[in-house]
Amino acid sequence: MGTVVSVRLNGGLTDSRGDAVRQSAQAAVAGVFGRWDDRFSLYRPGSELSRVARGDIRLTEASRQLRDCYALALHWRDQTDGVFTPHRADGVIDLSGIVKALAIREAGAALDSLGQDAWSINAGGDILVSGCPDVTFARRLDPLVDPDWVVALVNPLDRLDLLATVPLRAPLRAVATSGSAERGEHIWTPAPGIRSPFRQVSVLAADIVTADVLATAIVAGGEPMLNQCTASAEIEVLAVLQGGGLLATPGLRR
């Protein structure tokens, strides 16, 4: 997927048994992301989605997974009044706006199936967590250490600076960030050629798909979409304007 995926597991075993646990977790997560990339990448000529794009197979002939993913993307298109879309300007189906989040979600389920009760998955800055990290050792050094998973939101105008560190607490256990700081202007806006007012948008939500889709939609749709999303969904948002100003929902300010 052109990014880095990192997995952190709760503390515990440090001997060879711990190595086996970590290797199993790594293999499970790598397998999930590999399968999603193999099927949905438009950079892989042999992927199923590339074959659909070329017309080698019809959408109705595609796998159930691909059709379900496309249907989910259409659902989010309707929820965002067309701002989030699975269609490129040339009509090609492009599901990259939702595939990574679905892979993260499945990877989390894979860790659960291995008996892992506390983990975090970070795929290119989009993060999903479960349980709480092992803070027993850390609290020996600092009794006030935060027992939650904590994420850092980076300043897009200075990658060495942090805008905030935020604990991921139930029900908001996922965070996704979208914008132009890392990959340039790659998000389609409803009005072609009109630049988004936001350089970066971070969304905290209960699930990673919602966080990822709405972060992209807010960047694409600007402040009207920000207002619509925060009014209709249980999310928290930190948006960075092109000039560096910040817009933050009340819960995130707290």
pLDDT, one tens digit per residue, over 73-125 is 999 999 999 999 999 989 999 999 999 999 999 999 999 999 998 999 999 99
Q: What is the mean pLDDT of residues 175-187?
A: 69
Map out the domains of the chain with their CATH numbers: 5-248 (3.10.520.10)
The first and second tokens of residue 147, run together, are 């027992």
Identify the band that residue 186 occupies on the pLDDT scale cut at 50, 70 and 90. Answer: very low
**Residue 42 gets which letter from DSSP?**
T
- Cβ 187 vs Cβ 219: under 8 Å: yes
The first and second tokens of residue 49, run together, are 């989605």
pTM of model > 0.75? yes
- Reported for 130-136, long-range contacts at CB under 8 A and 24+ positions apart, including other chains, are 130/173, 131/10, 132/10, 133/8, 133/10, 133/11, 134/10, 134/11, 134/12, 136/11
Which residue type is seen at 155?
Answer: N
pLDDT at res. 77: 96
Question: Quick check: 221 pLDDT over 60?
Answer: yes
Identify the band that residue 141 occupies on the pLDDT scale cut at 50, 70 and 90. Answer: low
Question: Quick check: 187 pLDDT over 80?
Answer: no
pLDDT at res. 181: 55
